A and B are shown apart, each in its own frame.
Chain A
Amino acid sequence: MVVCNFFLQGRCRYGEKCWNEHPRGESRGGGGGYNDSYGRSGGQQQQPRGGGGGGGGGGGGFRNRVWVNPSQQRGGFIQPSSFSSQGSSDWGSGGGGGGGGGGGRRENLKSSDFSFSTQNRFSALNASNAFDRGGGGRRGGAAVAEGTAGDEDDDKKLEVIQMDMDAWESSGQWGFSCYSYFKTSISGFTDLSPEELRLEYYSTRASGDLQGYINGVNQLLSQWKSRVQELKVMSPSTRLALLAELNGTAPQLSSSGFGSTPATGFGSSTSTFGRKGFDAAPPAQTSSFGFPAPSSGFGSSSTSSPSTGFGGLLAAPTQPPSGFGSSSTPSASSFSFAAPSAEKPAASSGFGSASGFSFSSAAGNAGGGFGSAFGAGSGTAFGAATASPAAGAAAVGEATGALFSPESKLTQEELNQFKAKRFTLGQIPLKPPPASMLAV
């Protein structure tokens, strides 16, 4: 008889049914002959069987004398890309590649909405993290998996973030939550548990100052909405800021302008001005300020610190509300996070109502008001903020790496550049402009 070449290589598909001779004594490690009714064999092509069978499927069907250990097989699986497309349709998993690979190993899932994703086989994307997508299904998953280094990758990342924001907004999820993209926390979100909020409500109800609570909550809500909106819209400066965060290159925030707490319902007086860093310091979007961007660049990015000063329990600073306080956003009655964020928080009443707050440190007062302009989403609020540029610059000047450079720190050339109508290529200042030069 003819000796079977495949058998000699260890990969004869027919096993004992093979018409050629299989000389005994050959290695049989890979010799997964399979019964036609099973869709699986050792490392060879996989037939779409609805994911049934898995590695263990070989159990009954193997006529081959060689028992190919399913766990070995699994380890050796090269997950071909064709599998991922099947996988995603079966499991409805967002992570196409990851889901497919995982689905192949497991038996049929009974209910279609139990979708999971295993770690992505593309280890470049961080093997120890669950590679999956919130909300939307199969969209960006495969795309991210295949992205090569560089801009494409970044684009995909940002796309993912946008999708996540979309899903977050429309889903009615709890909004006071931190958010992260693959281990990097995205700044601009405060993490508050429902219990903390509820406790605050109960305490203020006892003390009779419910309105303060309501105002505070609305402020937080509007901050959240504006941040989500920002990330969804993804203006160029937000993009840059985000990418800087994601790549870990953004400078650490100095507390310029942030961290006041409204005294009204919350009773804490955390003074954070002049503090150079926070515990879980989110990076500042200062990079965006160095660019000769129009005022929208200034308005769009916002930095924040993690928690609020509820009842003086927490020492971490809060971001001043973007809605400028007591004028609550139009949808005051609907706490729902899923409410369409039609209102632009910054469009609400102007800077003057900031007097509704009492900021904790005197030096920071103007800085606080000034800084809070950055929490706002639009240029109009920013325009209002320039009403106190001098004070702002002074306060800001204390902090290093601030949003604006004090004039004393800029060289004459840099000042000239800022004064000029346009930047000269090659001489664009790296430092942000002084606040007093802003003409909005």
Chain B
Amino acid sequence: MSLFGAASTFGTGGTGVFGSTTTDSHNPMKDVEVTSPPDDSISCLAFSPPTMPGNFLIAGSWANDVRCWEVQDNGQTVPKAQQMHTGPVLDVCWSDDGSKVFTASCDKTAKMWDLNSNQAMQIAQHDGPIKAIHWIKAPNYSCIMTGSWDKTLKFWDTRSPNPMMSLQMPERCYCADVVYPMAVVATAERGLIVYQLENQPSEFRRIDSPLKHQHRCVAIFKDKQNKPTGFALGSIEGRVAIHYINPPNPAKDNFTFKCHRSNGTNTTTPQDIYAVNAISFHPVHGTLATVGSDGRFSFWDKDARTKLKTSEQLDQPITACCFNHNGNIFAYASSYDWSKGHEYYNPQKKNYIFLRNAAEELKPRNKK
């Protein structure tokens, strides 16, 4: 905390000795900082579901821990609890009733953390690190879906040590998203598979990737009737593809857009191209947020096909982002994402999670 303490004496001094340089670029957007952030890069963020009163934020990090904060209405964050794995935590998710948190780690296990009792027990096992974990709530079953680098997608009833179902994937799972009854998994080698979850999970379609490079993140969006209708797929090449599952006119409805690049439309100098680390859809407006290795976040309206806002550049990449259940809070994590290899890794550098009021900025542009 001493780092933070030191910064505040500079920052709040305002016009101090160094003048404008005291605006340290770790928080150029002047958003609320979450207290006691993890000690290593944050890999995932998740807010509690609407079934629970209040807002609780969970973050998994490369320091093998999962932390929980309560986010109060005045913006204060109160650290509540923490659990450990034996390897870096890659993904977290909540159960639909908000009582349990599921965490997936490089130690090849996934755990179920009961927040009331603060106990965590292992519920899943893979042959490789688990990269994605999601809770599925269907009318006739509930389970956990885990996607791993061992190329399998497994479904677990938390009460049994054996998976309910195991599906083989063509390659390692890089990211996944679930909005019942649809699940999308993006794998290495540009693999893209959609699963349908009704009755029991089964592969629905394999899609030819609309992107040329490695997939990095995926997020499902819903239509006006609140049914999942497509997904946004981000790659390491500063590009996001919006893909509808059954569009009336695929050629026109599906598109890609460039983002997280340095030069805008100036095509004379080579652009710096950054990876899109995470995509999140606003639960109410249907607009989306992307965060990238360039240390910026952007808000987009995919129906109007416009950009709503781009942030200032933070001094570290932004590795994860998340909206709370009613879309008022946008959380994003600033930490190193390994996009430049181990040489740029500084274990001493502080990692941050910021909270931003998202009620206004994500309103869709009016279509003419």
Q: Are B338 and A116 in contact (CB under 8 A)?
A: no
Q: Are A130 and B256 in contact (CB under 8 A)?
A: yes
Q: Are B258 and A177 in contact (CB under 8 A)?
A: no
Q: Are B270 and A118 in contact (CB under 8 A)?
A: no
Q: Which residues of A contact B265 (CB under 8 A)?
A: 92, 112-113, 115, 137
A138 CA / B267 CA spacing, docked (Å) = 9
Q: Are B341 and A180 in contact (CB under 8 A)?
A: no
Q: Are B257 and A114 in contact (CB under 8 A)?
A: yes
Q: Which of B202-220 contact A (CB under 8 A)?
A: 208-214, 216
What residue in chain B is nearest A282 (Cβ atoms)? B189
A378 CA / B10 CA spacing, docked (Å) = 56
Interface 9-residue window, one of B49-57, B70-78, B301-309, B351-359: B301-309
Number of residues from A at the complex interface, CB < 8 A: 78
Q: Are B131 and A195 in contact (CB under 8 A)?
A: yes
A217 CA / B190 CA spacing, docked (Å) = 22
Pick the residue among A107, A171, A334 that contacts B273 (CB under 8 A): A171
Min CB distance A309 to B, Å, is: 12
Cβ of B236 < 8 Å from any Cβ of A? yes
What residue in chain A is nearest B64 (Cβ atoms)? A202
Min CB distance B314 to A, Å, is: 17
A110 CA / B264 CA spacing, docked (Å) = 13
**B181-202 to A contact mask, C-beta < 8 Å, 1/0:** 0000000111000000000000
State the main secondary structure of chain A at its contact with B. loop
What residue in chain B is nearest A336 (Cβ atoms)? B340
Q: Which residues of B contact A171 (CB under 8 A)?
A: 238, 261, 270-273
Min CB distance B298 to A, Å, is: 9
Q: Which of A104-163 contact B (CB under 8 A)?
A: 105-107, 109-121, 123, 127-130, 132, 134-138
Q: Which residues of B contact A113 (CB under 8 A)?
A: 258, 261, 263-265, 307
Cβ of A425 < 8 Å from any Cβ of B? no
Cβ of B337 < 8 Å from any Cβ of A? yes
Interface 9-residue window, one of B22-30, B134-142, B168-176, B281-289: B168-176
A118 CA / B216 CA spacing, docked (Å) = 22
Min CB distance A375 to B, Å, is: 19
Number of residues from B at the complex interface, CB < 8 A: 72
Contacts A111-B306, A113-B261, A280-B189 given; does A307 touch B172 at CB 8 Å: yes
Q: Are A313 and B128 in contact (CB under 8 A)?
A: yes
Q: Which residues of A contact B275 (CB under 8 A)?
A: 173-174, 194
Interface 9-residue window, one of B94-102, B224-232, B247-255: B247-255
Cβ of A21 < 8 Å from any Cβ of B? no
Min CB distance A59 to B, Å, is: 8
Cβ of B321 < 8 Å from any Cβ of A? no
Measured CB to CB, the residues of A under 8 A from B are: 52-54, 56-57, 74-75, 92, 102, 105-107, 109-121, 123, 127-130, 132, 134-138, 164, 166-168, 170-174, 176-181, 183, 185, 191-199, 201-202, 213-214, 217, 279-280, 306-307, 313-314, 333-336, 338
- 20 chain-A/chain-B pairs, Cβ below 8 angstroms: A107-B367, A112-B265, A113-B265, A114-B306, A116-B258, A118-B251, A118-B254, A121-B251, A127-B251, A130-B210, A134-B212, A135-B270, A171-B261, A194-B337, A196-B172, A198-B342, A199-B88, A279-B171, A306-B188, A338-B272
